[in-house]
A = this chain, B = another copy of it.
Amino acid sequence: MADTLFYSPAIGQNSLLPEKESQHCVKVLRMREGDKLTVTDGKGFFYECILVQAHPKQCMVSIQNSIAKRKGWDYDLRVAFAPAKQTDRNEWFVEKAVEVGIDTVIPILCHYSERKEIKTERLEKIAVSAMKQSQQAFLPEIEKLKGFKDIISRPFNGKKCIAHCHDLPKVPLAQHYKKGENLLILIGPEGDFSQEEVEEAIAAGFEPVTLSESRLRTETACLVAVQTIHVINSL
């Protein structure tokens, strides 16, 4: 595979690259007609292509070969988190989660949320960039901001956990989770979930869990949860 990966969600149907990718191809990498490039659709395929028209706004490619790339994990891994006040911390989590492997990221609004809104488009751009950089063919879904109650009442075919810091009974995630299970985990804001939120989640079937012996920042907790699941599945 060529070292630089391009992203075009419609590459299976449309041989024109999006504007941003075309610009990167022609202006930044100075690729020329006849050059080879690899494009992913973010849905599990790599397309080996030849550049047939090096237009800075709309490159045209010819597909030579398509390769199904299996996802590096065979469970459904979703993190619903209350975005941190500092934007870069949320962006950091998305970048790292995509590198390490995640299916869905769901920003949620909680009682103690300091950040009440978030630019999902910006997180999507970061996810695309991290997917390309880590040479993957799956673009995780970044949902729009959801309410806490919306998330806990949503059906989910797998284990549901809530990580919190209250002095209530809870088990380490690594001991609760079993290899191969799908997981939806909720991570609270800087000020934690309210005790009422924890109780509502438990009533909705979420298991209260801990992630570490020390107090983790929101974005650290999110990534620790993701990596914990991958490690258990790799054993």
Chain A residues close to B by CB (< 8 Å): 72, 92, 96, 99-101, 133-136, 172, 174-175, 212-217, 220, 223-224, 227-228, 230-232, 234-235
Contact = CB atoms under 8 A, between A and B. Distances in A.
B72 A134 contact: no
Contacts of A174: 231, 234-235
B220 A100 contact: yes
A100 B224 contact: yes
A189 to B, nearest CB: 15
Among A175, A212, A220, A224, which residue has the most Cβ atoms of chain B within 10 A?
A: A220
B212 A100 contact: yes
A230 B214 CA distance: 12
Interface of A is mostly: helix
Count of this chain's copies in the oligomeric assembly: 2
Contacts of A175: 234-235
B134 A214 contact: yes
Contacts of A216: 99-100, 134
Given A92-B92, A224-B100, A72 B213 contact: yes
Contacts of A214: 72, 99-101, 134-136
A231 B223 CA distance: 13
A235 B232 contact: yes
A75 to B, nearest CB: 14
A227 to B, nearest CB: 4
Contacts of A133: 215, 217
Nearest to A88: B88
Nearest to A219: B96
A49 to B, nearest CB: 20
A220 B72 contact: no
Contacts of A215: 133-135
A135 B214 CA distance: 7
B227 A231 contact: yes
A229 B213 CA distance: 14
Contacts of A134: 214-217
8 contacts: A72-B212, A72-B214, A100-B220, A101-B212, A101-B214, A134-B215, A134-B216, A212-B230
Among A96, A214, A217, which residue has the most Cβ atoms of chain B within 10 A?
A: A214
